[in-house]
Structure 1
């Protein structure tokens, strides 16, 4: 066991280096991953619900296109998304990283599977017979019944956004907009010239794991139920 622990000293150094830029990165990651995963999970559940409940022309072909999206690696989409962001004028902004995180084809597939297992058609028909509209039926019945699926998609997307590296690397040049993964990479690339960054990178990596651990521990009851289904 070490005779002296340096965690406190490293945390103080982490908080003062670059005027506390690390915790700015940390907050960026929480915004990208937290809000992005919440909205993405809702979009996925809504799309999966629509694919399960409604019959419309070309439904299976459209769903096939969604499944094709699962096969495309995210790194292959980085350059096209950069060109789109450039045309929209949002390169090197919060939106350049946030908006792409709202799309998850695998989440739509999972959501349709969950809706098929959790949302019986008879219950939806009963709601319609009682006079509930389609939005009310989805919000009050469908969404609540498929909540384990919502949590599962949320956890998958939260982890993916939190660990996302290549898209911010392509989109961002302002270090104040970096997520924690890209910020730690920038520090780690300077350790050969500035060895004092080594403890900062190690301590920052330790703190970067905490939100993922907390999310899985807090939501594990829903997550286990979702994966079992």
Structure 2
């Protein structure tokens, strides 16, 4: 090996060592930056990656407890009615204080009914909100699934289970009359019926 080759090999080794040190330094810096700017509790919600992780977490929790109706054993006695000659049925408890939190973002008349969208959220003791039930003249005229993700609601309420609280769709009105005669309810996974904000008030306000 010539002197020139020895010098080149020595320089190459020094460059390799320098690159290795630089690589380690960059890895440590990135790791510290990740810890400080993404995983820190104060910055988690505001970071791009942290926000994505949080939304995925909200989604997994929001969907995990849905589409499974359940009835507490002790409630069967008071809610199950078994007539002698007609089909048995379950009652859906409804009281003045059973009100779902939420908002009707859109509620206006269309050619054959109503266009609705918004969100509805119920206490954990009531299960999860599953369907929006539209009632007109004491008859169910429409059912909308509560399956739209609303990260804004989950963030505002600071409740991961409030992610899947949105609904959107159209119901067909059965009565050919002027004005609003529709009442909305939220049906929960524990088979409870909770009153919702007034569609008629929303429609009247929008018309003004």
Q: For the superposition of Structure 1 and Structure 2, which TM-score range results when normalised by the shorter chain? A: under 0.3
Give 1 or 2: higher strand fraction. 2
Q: Which has the higher contact order (CA 8 A, sep 6+)?
A: 1
More helix by proportion, 1 or 2? 1
Q: TM-score, normalised on structure 2?
A: 0.24
